Amino acid sequence: MISPVLRTVKDTGASSTPKRLAIAVATAAALAALAAAALSGEPSTALRAFFVAPFSNASSILNMVELSAPLALCALGVIVTFRAGHYSLGGEGQAYAGSIAAAAAGYYGYAALGPGATLAAVVAGVLAGAAVAALPAMGRRFAGAEVLLTSILVSQGFIFVIDWAIGGPLRDRSGNLIAMPALETEALLARLEPPSTLTVAPFVVLILCVAASFYFERTRSGAAHDLYGRNPRFAELQGYDVERLSWAPVVASGMLHGLAGALMVLGAKGTAIRGMSGGIGWSAIGAALVAGSRPSAVPLAALLFAWLDSGARQAAVLSDLPPDAGMAIKALVILVVSSRPSWTAVKAFMRRTPTRRAK
């Protein structure tokens, strides 16, 4: 889909995407094996949880694909903002807001809309994500406030509010779980391959990734978006619409995160559960990084993280691997992928000749 012709026009200067993905997969596998062997009381069970169980049958694989879908959407959102030079860290709250809005629309809208409530839930999720992103976006547009600072603050604030809403007025008191009432099955996305949890979500992700890739690599707006992200002053002087670029990517990212939150509710979870976003905003930044900020690589990067998540969860249940091992491995994968040791530097270090910065 991406011809080399345009690559030459739009070079990011980073190491190639396949190489990054390969490094990430190798690191993740090595760390998972290490964690299973070193931290679990039953290493063989833990190893099996990581390396055998997720691939043992079609339904486990499809579950993993389904699990990767919301993460991929969030990562796509991260890419949209980061490539505009806005370092939005508010993904967590945006996704969480998408979840509660979708659950509310799906639950309360079912009476009026029937199965149409699914669509209402998706729309509500997208809008809620955009709403959480609105203050950072507008602050940037009208006051020039750093999205990095405002997004995390607003997101943190909304997390408190949503925690309260799910645990308070919207809570389903009949269960032990702090969660909203479960949605009707008809309001959820249809399962395509029972018993797996696969829904239409991964296909939506694929379409969006292809579209985003086309946007960045092949359209004039995408090129302007990239140039703005790397040098806003330059983009302004070239006459691009920098006012729109100062806020629209932030809102678009909020919508993608909101959609991700909605799909979590309408897919495997079935309702909004307290704390359900579970660090997805941070994982998404990692996945975006593993994908080298290229939308075309997002599905694979998300799948890698989904595998780590499900493997770690299985291992925690079956053996006594600490459940946070998955998050720790993800963090280490991010660190490894972010490094770009240059060979000249390595060679110079081996020879111990001092190197200095060339002007």
Say if residues 88 and 221 touch (Cβ distance below 8 Å).
Answer: no
CB contact set of 245 (below 8 Å; sequence gap of 6+) = 84, 224, 225, 228, 232, 235
| Amino acid in position 117 | A
Shortest CB 191 distance to another protein, Å:
32
DSSP one-letter code for 200: S
For residue 87, with 0-12 CB atoms within 10 Å meaning exposed, 13-18 middle and 19 or more buried, which class applies? middle
Instruction: Provide the minimum distance between the beta carbon of 161 and another protein in the complex, in angstroms, as a whole number.
Output: 5
* Residue 281, CA distances (Å) to 5, 91, 196 in order: 34, 4, 25
CB nearer another protein, residue 22 or residue 348: 348
How far apart are alpha carbons 291 and 68 in whole angstroms?
14
CA distance 22 to 205: 22
Rounded to a whole number of angstroms, the minimum distance from the CB of residue 240 to another protein is 7
Nearer to another protein (CB atom), residue 44 or residue 156: 156
- Please tell me the total number of residues recorded for the chain in this structure: 359
Q: Residue type for 78, please?
A: V
CB 152 to another protein: min, Å: 5
Burial of 163 (0-12, 13-18, 19+ CB in 10 A): middle
Closer Cβ to another protein, 89 or 187, answer by number: 89
Q: What is the closest distance, in whole angstroms, from the C-beta atom of residue 267 to another protein in the complex? A: 24
Smaller CB separation from another protein, 174 or 354: 354
Is residue 273 helix, strand or coil?
strand
Name the residue nearer to another protein (CB basis): 39 or 53. 39
Q: Report in angstroms how near the CB of residue 5 gets to another protein at its nearest.
A: 6
Smallest distance from the beta carbon of 254 to another protein, in angstroms?
Answer: 14
Q: Which is nearer to another protein, 91 or 109 (CB)?
A: 91
Cβ proximity to another protein: between 57 and 221 the closer is: 221
